[in-house]
Amino acid sequence: MRRSISKKVLINSCQETLKQSIYSLIRVQRNNDEVGDVAIFTSRRSGGTWLLQIFGSQKDILPITEPISLVRVPTAISEYLPFDRRGQNVTLDSYDVEDFNKYISDILSGDFIINAPWNIFDASFSFFPHRIVLKICASNCLYQWFQTNTSLDFIYLTRHPISQALSCLKKNYKPTALSFIQNHYYQKTYLNGEQIDKGLDTLDKDKPLKVHVLSWILENIPILHRNDDTNMIHLTYEELVKGGSEFIDELGKQFQFQQLERAKEAYGRPSKTTRRQIKHKLNEEIVGYWLEEVSEKEKSEIQDLLNIFDVDLYTAFDSTPRKQI
């Protein structure tokens, strides 16, 4: 007897076919009067989806979600991307850089569309966008490659490591620290002996919160400790949550938004998690809620960890950044 195809599988297959048909009709038409393409480098649970949604509200922008994420691309494509088994992109050393370069070049030229909107009835959809904005997650180690090999403008979006770690724990996400601490290239490039020992000791002995903060530290060191003077714009989840219309006005000015009201409407539609928090708390409380949830002892231990790894963007005792990088 023939095995029946479930309705869900059939619908998914039809949707994928329709999506690819729509993608094939999109043509990126450059306009030299506008700002260039943008890459948003960020970590999970840090507001990246929300920020990309704001950019995607503009009819001239094609937003692309995590084109080099293990969970976001088809298996046939993932074979050419530099993942380790925990889904982090740490180094291109043992991969075919030529294939990776072509993959990114094809995306930025508009010849290959992936993980982009395809609802043609959405007011912000266009078959003829002028520029591309990428959300790049779990790939901070590849920032230098993008800086060297593309003409992208860069946004670096961060969230307080304790706040981000707690959010990851609530989602039952696994820590990613082993991706970095066991990688010889990463050790040699970014860490000293004391830091390696502290990282391994933390993984072996400490509680999940501290391990997730270590994951945040190791993921962000490649950008926090970069030596170039790239004109990178640093934004934070904290200012995204609290900034309101003024934040959108400034963002729109920097990136030449043509439909500012649409951007403000998109700002009012954050992720499901943030929406739930906003429903019950003021924006100020959303940013600093964890200060009462984490003990003073835990904060002190986390501050020691930040100090050992020379991370001074945030402290464990304040919910807002100490500085802009």
In a domain? residue 6: no
In a domain? residue 79: yes
| Residue 5: DSSP 8-state | P
Residues 168 and 153 placed together within one structural domain of the fold: no
Distance CA 54, CA 268 (A): 9
In a domain? residue 93: yes
Q: What is the CA radius of gyration of the chain?
A: 20
Q: Which residues touch 55 (CB under 8 Å, ≥6 apart)?
A: 38, 40, 61, 63, 133, 255
User: Which tens digits make up the pLDDT trace of 266-322?
Assistant: 999 876 665 555 544 555 567 888 999 999 999 999 999 999 999 999 999 999 998
Residues 135 and 240 placed together within one structural domain of the fold: yes
In a domain? residue 1: no
Number of domains in the chain: 2
Distance CA 91, CA 69 (A): 14
Predicted model pTM: 0.91
Residues 110 and 207 placed together within one structural domain of the fold: no
Residue whose entry in the numeric block shows the structure tokens 């690819």: 20
In a domain? residue 315: yes
User: Which tens digits make up the pLDDT trace of 72-107?
Assistant: 777 767 766 766 656 688 888 766 788 889 999 999
Distance CA 277, CA 320 (A): 18
Residues 186 and 82 placed together within one structural domain of the fold: no
Residues 147 and 106 placed together within one structural domain of the fold: yes
In a domain? residue 214: yes
* Alpha-carbon torsion angle 251, 155, 312, 140, nearest 10: 160
In a domain? residue 325: no
How would you classify the pairing of strands 61-65 and 131-137? parallel
| φ and ψ at residue 28, rounded to 5 degrees | -80, 115
Domain housing 293: 162-220+289-320
In a domain? residue 195: yes
Residues 102 and 30 placed together within one structural domain of the fold: yes
Residues 45 and 153 placed together within one structural domain of the fold: yes
